[in-house]
Amino acid sequence: MIKQHFLTGAIGLAIALTATVHFFHDQKSLHAQTSTEHWRQWGGPTRNFRAADDTTSLATSWPESGPRQLWNRPLGEGYSSVLVDEGMLFTMYRENDNEVVIALDPTTGATLWTFSYDAPLLNDGYFDVWLNSAGPGPYSTPVIVDDLIVSIGVNGHLHALDKRTGTLRWSHNLVNLFDVVEYNAFASSPLIFEDTVILPLGGSGRGVVAFQSETGAIAWQSPPFDLGPGSPVLIEIGQQSQLLILGQQEVVGLNPDNGSRLWSHPHENELGLNISMPVWGSDNLLFLSSAYDSGSRVLRLDHTSGQTTATELWFNNRIRLHFGNAVRIGDIVLGSTGDFGPAFMAALDVTTGQELWRERSFARAHLVLSDDKIVIVDEDGEIAVASVTPSGLNVYARHQLLTENAWTPPTLIGETLFVRDRKTILAVDLGTTEN
């Protein structure tokens, strides 16, 4: 049963109905900032975890109490990252047997609307093991296209909602629609290409599907192959758009116009769980990394006479990104390596695979680039600002703000960081050192 709730009253009423929200900042300036910049998809404006404004000046020192919190409030279970568009925040969470899409006021954290639907966890097998360690999700981050926000829940409930009101525009139960029998969870975050919403079908052997964003009609379905949980990436090579999809034991290039397979290359691991998103460079180098006795590799993609070939330049089994993301800064690729043991922040030369350095000062982490600095959020709940050099990591400031497991990638809009753990969502000012 679907429940939709739109709150149009005063902020005080919204706070009373939803949560206790604390805010300590100039709301006018924050609203102006979030209304002119956006983060509409997993990985940010260009899906590579780089903030839109490279002129932002992040503070390089914090008081002992840490960076200034603008507001914080409780939120339910889940790992969906925070989207920002036209002065609104969006994310997902679980509340008992319901999954919820929520819109928030970025200046206060107050609820603007919620869209709730029944989503009991009915799967079994490996999914049960996943639930015991990772929690019930949702794991996917929605995507915004024009006036719609499109979300996918762990059991394949796909909804397209009006982003201003939360009104349902169209929906599908993907398990029923495509007769999906074996799947771990729908964890991939959807991607927009022209007028379509593209998403892998939940770790099954059903492949990838594209829907018309306005109507929900099926635009195409790829040939079947086994899918990993990682999210797709769109690249341009030889004036052709290509869709990069992580299979369970390979990376696959698809034509985003019709889903046809263009090329593939092995990327093997013990459990079929390729999770960390590929990193594409303007030099046609594709960085891939996975845990579970896998490693990191770089492929060079060449596109001539309408054909794409993938050549492996190097493989390094010492660097194994688990669920965190990698970022590329010049010829340096930075990521958090480690399967189930200790985690290390490590840097590689993308052209050779040579490990430049590794250091053990953070737990497994997500990263966001802004100008010449990097924001780190590790799974233990520490937030830091640092810079990266070929010889090491320069950490300017760090502070514990979240609780474990803080597995959600942060969202950076200007100097404001939006981040969450499994209990709380908060906004933090990274641009000043005042209390």
Domains of the chain: 2-429 (2.130.10.10)
d(Cα 232, Cα 243) in Å, to the nearest integer?
Answer: 7
Residue type for position 344:
F
In 96-202, which ranges are E strands?
Answer: 98-104, 111-118, 143-145, 148-152, 157-162, 168-173, 191-193, 196-200
Q: pLDDT at position 26, please?
A: 40
- pLDDT of residue 191 exceeding 60, the answer is yes
Per cent of the chain over pLDDT 90 is 79
Instruction: Tell me if 102 sits within 8 A of 90, measured CB to CB.
Output: yes
Of 76, 77, 81, 74, the closest CA to residue 135 belongs to 77
Q: 129 in helix, strand or coil? A: helix
Which amino acid type is present at position 194?
A: E
Alpha carbons 325 and 368: distance in angstroms, whole number: 9
In this structure, how many other beta carbons lie within 10 angstroms of the beta carbon of residue 168? 14
What digits encode the pLDDT tens for the residues 193-234? 999 999 999 878 899 999 999 999 999 999 999 999 999 999
| Residue matched to tokens 């409930």 | 157
- Determine if the pTM surpasses 0.95: no
74 upstream amide cis, omega within 30 of 0: no
Confidence at residue 433, expressed as pLDDT on a 0 to 100 scale: 64
With cut-offs at 50, 70 and 90, classify the pLDDT of residue 53: low
Quote the mean pLDDT of the chain.
88
| Side-chain half-sphere CA neighbours of 61 within 13 A | 3
Q: Which of 41, 338, 348 is nearest to 188 (CA)?
A: 41
Question: What is the C-alpha to C-alpha distance for residues 34 and 29, in angstroms, rounded to an integer?
Answer: 9
Nearest to 274, CA basis, from 289, 254, 293, 260: 289
